[in-house]
Amino acid sequence: MSAKEQAGAEQARNLPLGIALIVLAFFLSALTGFAGKFLHGVPVAITVFVQYGVSTLLFLPMVLEHGRAGLKTAHPGLLVVRSLGGSAAQLTFFLSLAGLPLLDASLLSNASPLFIPLIVWVWLRKPVQRVVWASLAVGLVGVVLVIHPGPQIFRDPASLIALGSGFLSAVGLTTTNKLAETEPPFRILFYNFGISTVCLLPVAVFAWRPLGWKDVLLLGSIGVLFALTQWCIIVAYRYASATELSPFNYSVVIFSGLLGWAFLGNVPGAGALLGTVLICAGGILSIEGGHREGLGQPVGSGHWWNRFRLRHRPSAAPADH
C-alpha cells in the first residue's frame, strides 16, 4: 500500500460511524425478517425473487456508472456459487419463519461464523486453530439449547431449516472472500442480485398467485430493506475494519428478539436465552480467532477485508453509490 493510500485510509477511518452504520444495517436486516412474518400465504420463492429483483433495480445505476468494463470478471463460476448460496440461504430463512419465533430463526440463520472455519478447513485446506474448535463447541451447545433436538424436530424441521440457512450463508461468505481478492464490491453485489433474480424467476412464475395490496407493500419493503442493508454494510466497512465491526453482526439477534417480543408476543425461555448467548459468544470467538474468511457479516454480501477495502476505494470519496 502506498503512503498516499495509507494517508487516505487514516483520514477516512471513523470507528464510531462504522459501528453506527453496521448496527443500522442489522437493524434493517431484522426488520426484513419481521416483515416476512406477516407474509401469510405468500410463497417463499416469490418473496425472495422480489427481494433480489428490487435490489437489482436499486443497484443498477451504480453498475451503469461503471459501464460494461465494470461487469467483466475472471471468476464467473465463483460468482454463480456465491449467488446460489446467498439466495438459498434467504429461501431457507424465510421458510423457517413460518415455524419459528423471529429470534430463533434469525439466530440460527446467522450462525454462519460457526460453519465458516469448517468450510475453510475442507475447501481451502487451512487448519483450524484450537480457539476456533473451542468456539465451535460453545456454539454447538447453544444450538442444542435453541433447537431442542429430538424426534419432534423431524415432524417440524423449521429449526434445521434455519440452521441450514446459516450453513448456506457460510458457503456464500467464504466464496465472497475468495472473490474479494480480485472483484470490487459493486460487481459482487450486482452479480449476486442479478444471478439470483434470474435463477429465481422461473420458480417464482411457477409459484405465482394473486397478491393483495398489503402483500405487495410488504414484498416491496423487504426488497428495499435488503438493498439498504447491503449498502449500509459496504459504507460501514469504509470507515472501520472487518475485525472491528464483525462482533456487531450479532446485533441482528438482539433487534429480532426485541421485535418479536414487542410485536409478536414471542417471549424466549431461559434455555433459549442461554443458547442465544452461547451461539453469539461462539460466533464472535470464531471471528476473532479464526481465518480472515470468518470476518464480515452473516446474511449479506458486504464481506470485505481491511486491505481489500483500502486497495479498491478512492481515498477522497467516502462512498461511490
Give residue 162's region: left, alpha or beta (phi > 0; psi -120 to 50). alpha
Query: Does residue 7 lie in a domain region?
Result: no
Cell of 240: 472501520
* 38/214 Cα distance (integer angstroms): 9
The residue type of 311 is R
Query: Does residue 38 lie in a domain region?
Result: yes
Query: Does residue 5 lie in a domain region?
Result: no
**Mean pLDDT value across the chain:** 83
Instruction: Please state the pTM of the whole predicted model.
Output: 0.82
Query: Does residue 71 lie in a domain region?
Result: yes
By residue range, what is the domain housing residue 53? 12-311
In tens, the pLDDT along 82-140 reads 999 999 999 999 999 999 999 999 999 988 888 888 888 888 778 878 888 888 899 88
In tens, the pLDDT along 213-239 reads 999 999 999 999 999 998 898 888 888
Query: Does residue 318 lie in a domain region?
Result: no
**Greatest extent of the chain over all pairs of C-alpha atoms, in Å:** 61
36, 50 Cβ separation under 8 angstroms: no
Query: Does residue 90 lie in a domain region?
Result: yes
Please count the structural domains in the chain: 1
Residues 6+ apart with CB under 8 A from 150: none
Q: Given this model, what pLDDT does residue 158 score?
A: 92
Query: Does residue 6 lie in a domain region?
Result: no
Q: Given this model, what pLDDT does residue 29 score?
A: 95
Q: Which of 83, 97, 34 is nearest to 197 (CA)?
A: 83
Dihedral through CA 125, CA 126, CA 131, CA 133, nearest 10? -10
Query: Does residue 161 lie in a domain region?
Result: yes
Q: Given this model, what pLDDT does residue 119 score?
A: 87
Residues 6+ apart with CB under 8 A from 67: none
In this model, does residue 11 exceed pLDDT 70? Answer: no
